Amino acid sequence: MNNEKEKIAIIGAGVSGLIAALVLENHGFSPLLFEKTERVGGRVKTDIMDGYQLDHGFQVLLDAYPMAQKYLDYEALNLAKFLPGAFIFKSGRKKIIGDPLRNLSLLIPTLTSGIGTLSDKFRILKLNTELKKKTISDIFDGPEVTTLEYLRRRGFSDEIITNFFKPFFTGIFLETELDTSSRMFEFVYKMFGTGHATLPTSGIGAIPNQLLAKLKRTKIQLNSTLESCENGKLNFTDGSSKHVDYIVLATESSDFFNNMRNQEIAWKSCQTLYFTTPKNGDGRPLIGLIPSEGTFINNIFFHKTLSTEKSGPEELLSVTVVKSHNFSESELITQVKKELEDECNIRDLKYLKTYTINKALPKLEHLAGDISPSETRLTDTVFLAGDYLLNGSLNAAMLSGEKAALGIVDTIRGSVINK
């Protein structure tokens, strides 16, 4: 059997497309990878500006993700770990809530923070223990309610929901009402509880760059935008075309198939603004949450509290806005600066850049944790990959890429055996 003969194209060099290429290579194929933009990574990219590392939106790698453990070399990524907790900023004052069982230094501040009741703290411990025992497939096979409903049913007080769970999970789900499925809450909570939130020292973009470096036989064509796709013929916007035997569509598929126009994905958006400032009063790597109802800023992070490969002379602050608004860019900067001063007591800010990410996370009604290779199959020759098939996470992107590649491998091997 000579696998090399099969022509396989992958459309999209985000994390799911890169994993699909890697898995196909591991099975003896040499795929062609077409990417619309000038570099790989999709939603996972890092820019360098004035010597600072700016990720395209604040994101973290949860090192407990099974797929990340399978495909990434953590040592080479030089992962820097966040502390398991958060600063809660309110009216210029700062409190800490954290997991003292994992970091003893968080015990006293958590107990004396006044955030949540004593029974909330017991409920958190109970949740940690329960979710540690639950497998990921138990979680995704389990019942689905909104995260808000889930927290209320578990008896958490309104105070801890408002001051901790809402801003923390708004920053993760990129929606302010906690109406994301409780399956995602349980999955993310389990990942936080069994591992760490981390960032590669050279920024989140190191993840796709590492995957790219692993590809030895994949031919990558950047700046190539697929326009349409019919019977194995790929048509690109520059007028060129290519015939292939199999396709992995590692991006939204509704753009390329007329019969899927009504199945377009809805997306959640966010903005991340970067500032520099001469000082940060506290060097601990904790995410900052801003729970006040009236503010636009949701979460902040001082990036120099983690070791970073490149860092300019001052502190780098990222600020994430999830709530929708009608501000112009300059009005937004003014508003964010004011809120940082009023709520977090942070001043002397120099604005660097804003990333507006309109398609940050897919808005999905039902979330899944796994998919079989055959379920990724759209037509005889087209297989789908992308986080939108499962849930909005790096783990899901990697898993979907692996399964789409295996779907093609199984199909080719099956057809070879049947011949």
Ligand X SMILES: Cc1cc2nc3c(=O)[nH]c(=O)nc-3n(C[C@H](O)[C@H](O)[C@H](O)COP(=O)(O)OP(=O)(O)OC[C@H]3O[C@@H](n4cnc5c(N)ncnc54)[C@H](O)[C@@H]3O)c2cc1C
Query: CA–CA separation, 254 vs 366, rounded Å?
Result: 18
Q: Indicate which single residue of 46, 59, 180, 181 sits in contact with ligand X (rule: CB under 6 A).
A: 59
Binding ligand X by CB under 6 A: which of 8, 23, 57, 148? 57
Gap between the Cα atoms of 263 and 362, Å rounded: 13
**Closer residue to ligand X, CB minimum distance, 113 or 251:** 251
Residues 319-358 that bind ligand X (CB under 6 A): 357
Q: Which of residues 369-408 bind ligand X (CB under 6 A)?
A: 386-387, 392-394, 397
- Least distance from ligand X to the Cβ atom of residue 193, Å: 15
Backbone φ and ψ for 162, nearest 5 degrees, come out as -70, -45
* Residues 34, 231, 377, 217, CA torsion sign: negative
Helix, strand, or coil (residue 181): strand
Applying CB under 6 A, which of residues 22, 29, 32, 43 lies at the interface with ligand X? 43
Which pair of structure tokens corresponds to residue 314?
A: 């001052």
Q: What one-letter code names the amino acid at 45?
A: K
Stretch 232-251: interaction string toward ligand X, x if CB under 6 A: ------------------xx
Distance CA 6, CA 418 (A): 16
Binding to ligand X by residue 44, rule CB under 6 A? yes
Residue 60 binds ligand X (CB under 6 A): yes
Least CB distance to ligand X at residue 394 (A): 4
The piece of 36-44, 96-104, 158-166, 334-342 that touches ligand X (CB under 6 A) is: 36-44
List binders of ligand X among 355-374 (CB under 6 A): 357, 360-361
State both tokens at 387: 């986080």
What is the torsional sign of CA 402, 405, 410, 416? negative
Q: Is 83 in the site for ligand X (CB under 6 A)?
A: no
C-beta of 95 vs 377, nearer to ligand X: 377
What is the H or E stretch that residue 107 is in? Answer: helix 107-111
Query: Applying CB under 6 A, what is the total number of residues that bind ligand X?
Result: 31
> Which of the ranges 7-15, 121-129, 132-140, 283-291 carries the binding residues for ligand X, by CB under 6 A?
7-15
Question: What minimum distance in Å lies between the beta carbon of 97 and ligand X?
Answer: 19
Residues for the chain: how many in total?
A: 419
The one among 32, 86, 148, 226 contacting ligand X by CB under 6 A: 226
Q: Which amino acid is at 221?
A: Q
Query: Residue 320: is it exposed, middle or buried by C-beta count within 10 angstroms (0-12/13-18/19+)?
Result: buried
- Closest approach, Cβ 395 to ligand X, in A, equals 6
Q: Round to whole Å and give the CA distance between 170 and 180.
A: 10
Q: Which two tokens stand for residue 156?
A: 């958490």
Sites of contact with ligand X (CB under 6 A): 11-17, 34-37, 42-44, 57, 59-60, 225-226, 250-251, 270, 357, 360-361, 386-387, 392-394, 397
